[in-house]
Amino acid sequence: DATKLVHRAEAFPSVEDSDDFYCQVTTELTTSLTESMIASVAHVLDYDNTPAAGFKRADNRVILSVGWSF
Which amino acid appears at position 12 of this protein? F
pLDDT tens-place string over residues 14-69:
899 888 899 999 999 999 999 899 999 999 999 999 888 999 999 999 999 999 97
What pLDDT score was predicted for residue 18?
A: 82
Above 90 in pLDDT, residue 2?
no
Query: What does the pLDDT read at residue 12?
Result: 93
The distance from CA 4 to its chain's CA centroid, rounded to whole angstroms, is: 15
Q: What's the pLDDT at 1? A: 72
What is the four-CA torsion angle of 33, 34, 37, 39, rounded to 10 degrees?
10
